[in-house]
Amino acid sequence: MSSIKIPAAPNKKNISKKSSSAKTGEKKSAKIKKEIPPKVEWRDFSPSPIIGVDEVGRGCLAGPVYAAAVIFKSDVANDLVTDSKLLSEERREELAEIILKEHHVGIGYATVEEIDEINILQASLLAMKRAIENLGVTSGHVLVDGNMKIPNLEGLAQTPIIKGDLRAAPISAASIVAKVTRDRLMKKLAEQYPHYGFEAHKGYSTPVHKQSIVAHGPCEVHRKSFAGVKEYVLT
């Protein structure tokens, strides 16, 4: 009679390691999926036209806050755009030119003085309102990047979309145009105020920028109500 080989009992340590490894992999996969929000079927909104709007420059210590509003007139660049922060400066410039040429674009901004007077949140909403008004449309549906509607925007439906610059192409396009437009302005301001390095950091709170404020004091385009600036304003 032939003997039957009984398989060795599995090593509990190996099972534990494999189980732990699988759980870790599942967690990583879930985290990646969580970090990439689902796309929005923006064409399903109504009434038309569908308007994407986004702002740029909220976290800066200097310069105005800019916004752009975009209505797609065709599918050109629809699959190319994404959050402007994920693109190189060169790619943003290329896409901005395409968007400005092929689609309907409005640009707005709020000044440094307005930011200091009404606060950066309200100034950002004001810049977006102005960008939409500059489109010259009286009806439509606005997709707003973030979690807030734009106050006093009459005649237009609104839907805030968190991480909208990653999820809806018209908002992505707006973020690119707003970023490129503001960056160009900050490069011009760098020529006027050469001590601060605006051409490099675009007014954001980098160590070099903060050190230049300490060394030279704030200039006219610094936001005097912001921490990191107001401490060095001479009274």
Write out pLDDT tens, residues 131-168.
Answer: 999 999 999 999 999 999 999 999 999 999 999 999 99
Q: d(Cα 155, Cα 147) in Å, to the nearest integer?
A: 20
**Residue 4 pLDDT exceeds 50:** no
Delimiting residues of CATH 3.30.420.10 domain(s) in the chain? 42-188
**Cβ neighbourhood burial of 157 (10 Å; 0-12, 13-18, 19+):** middle
> Do the Cβ atoms of 200 and 208 come closer than 8 Å?
yes
- Average pLDDT value for residue range 217-232: 97
Give the strand order in the sheet containing 141-145: 104-110, 65-71, 50-56, 141-145, 157-161
Q: Quick one: pLDDT band at residue 23, thresholds 50, 70, 90?
A: low
Q: d(Cα 220, Cα 146) in Å, to the nearest integer?
A: 30
Alpha helices (H) in the chain, listed in sequence order: 12-35, 89-102, 112-118, 120-133, 164-167, 169-192, 198-201, 207-216
Q: Output the pLDDT for position 83.
A: 78
Average pLDDT, the chain: 88
Q: Quick one: pLDDT band at residue 78, thresholds 50, 70, 90?
A: confident
- Average pLDDT value for residue range 119-124: 98
Q: Quick one: pLDDT band at residue 27, thresholds 50, 70, 90?
A: low
**Residue 47 pLDDT exceeds 60:** yes
Task: Name which of 7-16, 42-51, 119-128, 204-213 the model is least confident about.
Answer: 7-16
Nearest to 176 by CA among 106, 65, 108, 85: 85
Q: Output the pLDDT for position 91.
A: 94
C-beta atoms surrounding 140 within 10 Å: 20
Q: Output the pLDDT for position 1.
A: 41
- Average pLDDT value for residue range 54-75: 97
What pLDDT digit, counting tens, does each position of 79-93 carry?
Answer: 878 878 889 999 999
Q: d(Cα 212, Cα 180) in Å, to the nearest integer?
A: 24
Q: d(Cα 120, Cα 106) in Å, to the nearest integer?
A: 20
**Residue 22 pLDDT exceeds 70:** no
Q: Output the pLDDT for position 7.
A: 44
The DSSP line for 135-182 is: TT-SS-EEEEESS-PPTT-TT-EEEEETTHHHH-HHHHHHHHHHHHHH
Q: Output the pLDDT for position 21.
A: 47
**Residue 15 pLDDT exceeds 60:** no
Q: Output the pLDDT for position 84.
A: 85
What pLDDT digit, counting tens, does each position of 186-215 carry?
Answer: 999 999 999 999 999 999 999 999 999 999
Q: Output the pLDDT for position 128.
A: 98
CATH superfamily ID and name for 42-188 = Ribonuclease H-like superfamily/Ribonuclease H (3.30.420.10)
Whole-model pTM: value is 0.83
